[in-house]
């Protein structure tokens, strides 16, 4: 199992704050957690960056998952590809403790990657990143005709739906006939 450290720094403050009293207060060492995707590559992420993910934040705060436990057993996200998880971790690190900008231009332009990223972000419950990704998906069809959009989104036409339904009925009928014949054979 290999390990990567994604732009994290133990010297960074745990929470950004503007209060002058807090600035004078001694720095609290930042805690780190570990996650891995389908490729088993472990990513070290600070607790501050993980705040973006409601799922992981909930696991930490509700289940009392400690840093030591996390180090021994990284959060497994077997349904997320390694490169996609890397993108998510990068985004969380970049936006750690910062207000999220209205636009994010660093999202992947390839449709396949974006499709997987949206699924991962939805699973990890990262609200702001999900909004960016969905905006990107909506932008992909900007200026296209309705018929082009339907094709890009792979929505079947009514005729295709009807044909598929007929086919399914035919198949179900054949299977039922096959079962009846088999049952009759058994009875003999």
Partner 1 sequence: MSHFLLLKYPLVVQEEILHQMNACQLTELSFTSTRLKKMFQKFKIHADSVTYHLVSPTDCGIEVKAGRARFKIRIARTWCNKSWSVWIVNGAKMLINLLERREMSSEHLHQSGISLKSEISILEEINTHLMSFLKVEKFNVTILYYKNFRDIFIWNIVEKFDVVRVDDENEPEPISIEWRNLKFLEEEVQKNELYLNVRVV
The residues in 122-141 that bind partner 1, with binding defined as CB under 8 A, are 122, 130-131, 134-135, 137-138, 140-141
Q: Residue 4's beta-bridge partner residues?
A: 43
Q: Cα 182 to chain center, whole Å? A: 46
* Binding of residue 113 to partner 1 (CB under 8 A): no
Residue position matching structure tokens 């497994």 = 76
User: Strands 42-46 and 3-5: what pairing?
Assistant: parallel
119 binds partner 1 (CB under 8 A): yes
Report yes or no: 81 and 37 within 8 Å, Cβ to Cβ: yes
Site size toward partner 1, by CB under 8 A: 30
Q: Does 111 bind partner 1 (CB under 8 A)?
A: yes
d(CA 79, CA 67): 23
* Ranges within 148-177 binding partner 1 (CB under 8 A): 148-158, 161
Answer yes or no: are the C-beta atoms of 136 and 114 closer than 8 Å. Answer: yes
CB of 69 to partner 1, least distance (A): 30
The least CB distance from residue 91 to partner 1, in Å, is 17
Give Cα 46 distance to the centre of its chain: 18
Nearer to partner 1, 41 or 134 (CB): 134
Binding residues for partner 1, per CB under 8 A?
111, 114-115, 118-119, 122, 130-131, 134-135, 137-138, 140-141, 143, 145-158, 161
């Amino acid at each position: 199992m290999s390990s990567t450290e994604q732009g994290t720094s133990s010297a960074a403050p745990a929470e950004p704050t503007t209060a002058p009293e807090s600035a004078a207060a001694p720095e609290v060492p930042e805690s780190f957690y570990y996650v891995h995707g389908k490729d088993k590559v472990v990513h070290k992420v600070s607790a501050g960056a993980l705040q973006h993910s409601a799922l992981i934040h909930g696991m930490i705060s509700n289940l009392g998952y400690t840093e030591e436990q996390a180090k021994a057993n990284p959060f497994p996200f077997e349904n997320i590809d390694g490169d996609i998880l890397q993108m998510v971790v990068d985004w969380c690190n970049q936006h750690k403790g910062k207000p999220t900008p209205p636009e994010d231009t660093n999202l992947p332009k390839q449709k396949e990657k974006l499709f997987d990223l949206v699924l991962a972000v939805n699973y990890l419950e990262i609200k702001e990143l999900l909004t960016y990704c969905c905006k990107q998906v909506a932008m992909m069809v900007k200026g296209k005709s309705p018929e082009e959009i339907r094709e890009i989104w792979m929505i079947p036409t009514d005729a295709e739906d009807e044909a598929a339904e007929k086919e399914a009925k035919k198949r179900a009928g054949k299977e039922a006939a096959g079962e009846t014949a088999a049952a009759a054979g058994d009875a003999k």
